[in-house]
Structure 1
């Protein structure tokens, strides 16, 4: 009997799979993970520092991957939807239309009609806001997890008409099964004879199954002019209107109003009302002093949080920013000075975003509350539905604004951990939309904002330093900045540094953290740190590795260098990086080790002599 070698391919595949890869991040990416490969070093550091159990480690991995997959899914749905740019409903002027059924629009924004497979029809002349409303509803549906297609009627009909019969069946199937279909501008153009049949086919396939949004500038009785010679108009409208909410928006074109103002052609009464204030816009110093009113007192002295101001809280990762800010929120709500800052009066504080899941965040607040009693109970409010909303997204801004108005908030606290990590905080262009949203939220809510500024963790090890990081866009909107940092690894106290736009600079303050109460408090005295080395040589990094069997993880290596050589964290970080760049040590699978003999870098002695000549066996000649 002759056996054929049928297992060759399997043997080859197994060998290839078990070959160790040079980078742990690549291995994680290869098995389909997306969040961990980007932040693997930081994830391992957090796991080591917090001493996670295997079960906790898997929980955090699953949570990180689930959040990343949710974010990528949202980006994909937004890209496919075709919604493109639009103004948020926060910018919609409800007083401009002469007639608008606001209750129908606001109910549609809750997406109830999708659950009932009802249609929504928006009728009105050009420029009254039909498309803006439709796009906001579509965007809300995308955020809620629905698949959405936003198309103008001419685009959809042209796309169907140019398809082959097989391609048309495929397109009709897509239009029939998407979660929400929006057809904009029905009635702006006239169409060929078969266009009405194609539109009927789309509506009929979705009838009593999926919702449709239609915007049109034509009354239904005029649709025969839009689809001349069509025989199915009555049946099409019957299917469309059977389960539908129809609202008519009446008024002048808002775009025309803005265009007239932009071209300098406002109505006569608007010209007069515009000129009147300018008659007194140029004032002398005496007039300014006489008419000027003192600025509103700061919510947190000295000038730390101006009324309707923006306070950024920054610092290196894992130093306690997301603990300091709840301390500040509770102090503001209680009118307490536990942090050592004068607070003039209790304030209504709304916490809109926080880095922890809601049950964990409530547990943290419960522990902090024990130190205050009931003083903050009725003034500290938490938005329990903030998860999934991005401040830079129009619908997210709308959500936060409605929450702020419902809470009558005087201070809004935002800790946007994941959304900030998705952006480059040193890229002005990337942060422009985020900063504009901050200003809109502040102006519309008339509240002060406290924002935790999480720097991108991939740069924090080498670049965080002691500066306030961030693009010029961030610094342009902030009124004051707090930097929480650890001045020395040998000191238990943390240091709080300040920058102000409108107030004099303050000296740094030392804070101590109590892990039992989760409160920061002013340090009574500043202990003198032990003298630390100014520079660590790469050879000392090698020696540290050699003392620990030649292999350590990054955090372990850094801590050993800091403890053994009495240097700062940054000095140790720079020394490790320099040693790796020079080939003195090798990074592999998330660890640092000494190089193998054949990987040793060439070194020349100061006198010009090299290593002793060696024969092929590595023996000295």
Structure 2
């Protein structure tokens, strides 16, 4: 009995990782004969059993961003996540977070679904663990008991994606210790591999550079960046006085198995929606897109034939048909509009974010 008890204690001290799975050896030729499904969860951003680090300065809206992501993963938009990344199928998400109370989270969700009522149907596709009537949960990933709690949440919800927010609440290490941080993050990888889920990890960046751009700082931060497969950084866009605006620059900083996407911009609305917008410094481009959106709004928010919108833009601007077509193509490229099936095999046009159209927020 004492021998068995000693073995149990040893296993617990090693974070439950002492039970090794059987190891086999395959050659490069064997590997080429193997087949693997190509089913990314978020095209260009997050594959099965991969990790995505969402990082940025404090107070920028990282938790709001991941809440918006959960809605979009549950009900994939026609033009993808933020008009930038395809979501091939509806996904379930498990939130494990330590900063926002149940009351505060409820208020956020209520505000979001007031702005986008169709998202109410997505609420059954993401979930939170409750402890003592609240949904704040923290612990250390390398500890067997907490790892078991995380696994139980994912298994009970049958989630495809696990969100941890923020990272600092789930390790007991000095973030400047590369080896210690890597052990904690490898423990998270092991959990994801066992459960076959992907993870999104929110990480606070302690400082920004002189331009307001988020940068990794310290040895620990570099270990975190090395571990994750993909990185999205959130950077505040400043006004002429150096104050933060409600526009956020999104930088796709790392993609281990995808092509990097050019930077894009999101606007955090008063309703806590994160909607695609344009670089506020590109005034001429924004004005051209705004004309397209205004014409589309005047047409009721959608048209069954693109030629109808082309004519409306021509009439509004006095420009040529080719210029109007280019303006519409630019609005589509920036993610503000989508092309839809129309009548008689014609291509129609609609707002990419119909909730914004209904709320009267069809602005760039």
User: Per the shorter chain, which TM-score range?
Assistant: 0.5 to 0.7
Corresponding position of 2:140: 391
Question: Aligned partners of 1:462, 1:392: CA distance in 2, in Å?
Answer: 35
Question: Aligned partners of 1:480, 1:486: CA distance in 2, in Å?
Answer: 20
Shift in alpha-carbon separation, 1:464–1:478, aligned structure 2, 3 A: farther
Corresponding position of 2:281: 528
Q: 2:178, 2:223 within 8 Å by CA — same for their partners in 1?
A: yes
Corresponding position of 2:265: 510
TM-score (norm 1): 0.38
Question: Aligned partners of 2:173, 2:5: CA distance in 1, in Å?
Answer: 35
TM-score (norm 2): 0.63
Residue correspondences, number:
264
1:344 to 75, 83, 88: 88
Give deviations 1:296-344, integer Å, cap 9, x for gaps.
Answer: 3211122x01111111000122111111111111111222335223211
Q: 1:439, 1:477 within 8 Å by CA — same for their partners in 2?
A: no
1:132 equivalent to 2:36? Answer no
Higher relative CO (CA 8 A, sep ≥ 6), structure 1 or 2?
Answer: 2
Shift in alpha-carbon separation, 1:422–1:502, aligned structure 2, 3 A: same
Q: 1:329, 1:413 within 8 Å by CA — same for their partners in 2?
A: no
Question: Aligned partners of 1:509, 1:463: CA distance in 2, in Å?
Answer: 17
2:153 to 400, 403, 408: 403
Larger Rg: 1
Shift of 1:373: 3.2
Shift of 1:487: 3.7
Q: 2:212, 2:237 within 8 Å by CA — same for their partners in 1?
A: no
Corresponding position of 2:106: 362
Task: Describe how 1:21-100 pairs up with structure 2 within 5 A.
Answer: none
1:375 equivalent to 2:121? Answer yes
1:297 equivalent to 2:43? Answer no
Corresponding position of 1:320: 61
Q: 1:322, 1:355 within 8 Å by CA — same for their partners in 2?
A: no
Shift in alpha-carbon separation, 1:436–1:350, aligned structure 2, 3 A: same
Question: Aligned partners of 2:47, 2:89: CA distance in 1, in Å?
Answer: 13
Task: Describe how 1:40-439 pairs up with structure 2 within 5 A.
Answer: 124=1, 126-127=3-4, 131-132=8-9, 278=25, 281-284=26-29, 288-289=31-32, 291-302=33-44, 304-336=45-77, 337=80, 339-340=82-83, 341-370=85-114, 371=116, 372-385=118-131, 387-394=136-143, 395-416=145-166, 419=169, 424-439=174-189
1:496 equivalent to 2:250? Answer yes
Normalized per residue, the structure richer in strand is 2
Q: 1:420, 1:454 within 8 Å by CA — same for their partners in 2?
A: no
Question: Structure 2: which 5+ runs fail to align?
Answer: 284-364
Question: Aligned partners of 1:333, 1:429: CA distance in 2, in Å?
Answer: 36
Secondary structure at 2:259 match in 1: coil
Shift in alpha-carbon separation, 1:282–1:444, aligned structure 2, 3 A: closer
Question: Root-mean-square deviation (CA), in Å?
Answer: 3.5
Shift of 1:474: 1.4
